[in-house]
Structure 1
């Protein structure tokens, strides 16, 4: 019985160390934004197709499969509904130290979303990002729609999108 307890304790300590290392290990620096000639000017997200297409002057630069909020049908209405918003937005912030592998913030909620939510007495939600996989998930892409309303890509695709996308890029999200 003591041997089993010691083996369990060693295993538990090793597992906690591995989890801590994966979560808090020094992250590599975020890729630099590409020069103007290699940037994109538009991101199209087609929710029904689960596809992100990044373009420059209409030419496709990157196309990727995506995951959405856990309740992807329809437009985002309120905080916690698991929906990804629909509309035209702008990349308004970049977070290299996010809880996910890099993240590009979109400027949701828009004034119309805020007004609608105020009329209904609800919170429209916010903090909608295009991001990679959760930190600590190494070499995997989570299946299905699992975010709280964000748009998720593989880590490799997110690193490429990050390097191509300047702040101010238009993001169009279609149903």
Structure 2
């Protein structure tokens, strides 16, 4: 019998104070550090849902909307938005709070596709999702659409295409490139 879980059963929230050791050369919190935290929370969320070890299969668009400053409290919220047979899409929202003023800013949202694995590293089925709200249904459908677009993109990019003269002319006239081949 197939099992199902409520989305709330696997939701995870983490908070961390941003320290000077987390900065890049311009004094803002390093994007790579934020990505590392996002990967950790995606792992925790997917592992809670699947009750298995999980690996990151892909990361959809990561747009750094606003910089995060030293001394701000970063809060990340993760939720399983979609499940396939062995994979899950974990939605992550990143916010930072200026703890002096209380101002909260949305810094990033992203989607991590995670795959459940057994002890031998073989992909294993994951429980289904119980969708209780319109928002949960919308998130599931959006994830389904993103999965389809990624599948189509993979198929398109795997095709070998011949270069056309028109393409080269577009490059020469409309882009900042110099062709030397």
Range class of TM-score, shorter chain: under 0.3
Larger RCO (alpha carbons 8 Å, 6+ apart)? 1
Structure number with the higher strand fraction is 2
Q: Which has the larger radius of gyration?
A: 2
Q: TM-score, normalised by structure 2?
A: 0.27
Q: TM-score, normalised by structure 1?
A: 0.28
